[in-house]
Amino acid sequence: MDIRLNKQNLKGFIGDNDIEGIMPNIEKAHNELEQKTGKGCDFTGWLDLPNKIEDSFLDELAALGEEIRVNSDCIVCVGIGGSYVGIRASLEFLIADQKLPVYYAGQNLSSGHLHYLLEKLQDKRVTVIVISKSGTTAEPALAFRVIKQFMREKYSPEEFKKRIITITDAQKGALRQITDKEGFRSFIIDGNVGGRFSVLTPVGLMPIAAAGVDVKQLIRGARLAQDECSTMDMDKNIAYQYAAARYLLYKQDKVIEVLSTFYQRLSFVEEWWKQLFGESEGKAGKGIFPASLSFTTDLHSMGQLLQEGERNMFETFFLVEKSGIEVVIPQEEEDLDNFNCVAGNDLDWVNKQAYKATAMAHYEGGVPNMSITLPQFDAFTLGQLYYFFEKAVAMTGYLLEVNPFNQPGVEAYKNKMFALLGRK
Ligand code: PA5
């Protein structure tokens, strides 16, 4: 894989003996995962998904994406949680590849958000992609009601039908019923892949193909990661190395993991990571709290807490080797701000020095840290990254002896809200 994991700043916190000590647990978890016999094994369809996806299906998505781009000025994606974050994470990471604007709805219950969105859509040619695995979630269902009405008023019955695409279960849920009744085009979410693991299914692939991203490259990356993260050889499997380090730190009462990035384009991947890790591990009174920070901005606020606050956290820096954009710092005749020392350098070079300084300072301040470095912002890398994180959280979940593939807590909220709304 092109992704690198650096564990140098774990020295003094985790030693080789610690890893040796948990090898039997890792091996057990590995076997349960690969043989699909562990907790929640009915929801491990994501494990072999990259190598199972047919290229012909990816071609079909690319062709539909092309049709959408010809007929539309923008796309509206309606969904929440696993039916939202991965799409947005992908498109923010791959902003340079995006050919069509994408707006989001149904990820909250904000009337202001929906109101201003509809205002923006008035004079645009719109395609709507509605995503809900269960087909019953309140936020996207209500947003879709409003948007459906808008689309019905804006378009002829034929156009209305053509411009709405749904992604949902094959049989279950209200969205399936609506789809069949209205005759919308539709893609199916496999029952054995949970929401937060669904970014490499039509949930993520369809919208991002429509936005113009090369989904074949994304899946090629995921296939590489699937191959390389399926080995029990710890030296070769960085997903297991990351999982083992997290688990051992948690056992030392480092109960918060801060994923800190120095790149704006990684911010929504951090959101995706938070959902994946928080929802997978946080149960049965256990779980590492996944937090994220955007540096260097947050160094001027949360940096204080990291440097000198309670020592109950570890940090994972999330970096990119080639930012892809060069901004050269100009030389000034009069060096009033004393920054001629960096003149002629790319701003990203300074950013990288900021990372080095932060990693060192936080380590010396008692915060063990690792770094995950990506080579660049492209679909091939992103595909690898998604699979890497999915495999890592599955491993930590099993090490923690929880079921990483259910979300009873999320269901509890949904059920209570339905009761308050008087919904059956
Ligand atoms: O990971 C999950 O299962 C959840 O976050 C869901 O993705 C989220 O609640 C949305 O559910 P649905 O796709 O069924 O509307």
3-state secondary structure 220-259: HHHHHHHHHCCCCCCCCCHHHHHHHHHHHHHHCCCCEEEE
Looking at the fold, whether 151 and 69 belong to one and the same domain comes out as yes
Q: Are strands 369-374 and 4-6 parallel, antiparallel or unpaired?
A: antiparallel
**Which ligand 1 atom minimizes the distance to the CA of 189?**
13
As given in the structure block, the two tokens for residue 276 are 């994946």
pLDDT < 50 stretches in the chain = none
How confident is the model at residue 411, as a pLDDT? 80
Q: How far is CA 236 from each of CA 4, 24, 225, 233, 242, rounded to the nearest angstrom?
A: 11, 17, 11, 6, 12
As given in the structure block, the two tokens for residue 115 are 């109101």
Looking at the fold, whether 298 and 389 belong to one and the same domain comes out as yes
- Domain boundary, last residue among 173, 192, 216: 216
Cα 196 to chain centroid distance, Å, stands at: 8
Q: Give the distance (Å) from ligand 1 centre to CA of residue 110.
A: 18
Looking at the fold, whether 165 and 233 belong to one and the same domain comes out as no
**Which ligand 1 atom minimizes the distance to the CA of 82?**
7
How confident is the model at residue 265, as a pLDDT? 96
Looking at the fold, whether 314 and 247 belong to one and the same domain comes out as yes
Nearest CA-CA partner of 171 in 185, 191, 195: 191
Q: Which residues line ligand 1 (CB under 6 A)?
A: 80-83, 132-134, 137, 140, 194-196, 279, 407, 410
Phi-psi region of 317 (alpha: psi -120 to 50; beta: other; left: phi over 0): beta
Domain assignment present for 419:
no
Rounded Cα–Cα distance for residues 150 and 361 (Å): 53
How confident is the model at residue 417, as a pLDDT? 87
Write the pLDDT tens digit of every residue in 171-191.
999 999 999 999 999 999 988
How confident is the model at residue 281, as a pLDDT? 97
Domain assignment present for 415:
no
Looking at the fold, whether 226 and 306 belong to one and the same domain comes out as yes
Sole residue written with tokens 């459906």: 148
Domain assignment present for 262:
yes
Looking at the fold, whether 113 and 237 belong to one and the same domain comes out as no
Give the range of the structural domain holding residue 332, as residue numbers without chain letter.
4-40+220-399
How confident is the model at residue 40, as a pLDDT? 96
How confident is the model at residue 313, as a pLDDT? 98
Q: Give the distance (Å) from ligand 1 centre to CA of residue 220.
A: 26
Looking at the fold, whether 244 and 198 belong to one and the same domain comes out as no
| pTM reported for the whole predicted model | 0.96
Q: Give the distance (Å) from ligand 1 centre to CA of residue 44.
A: 16
In the chain, how many domains are there? 2
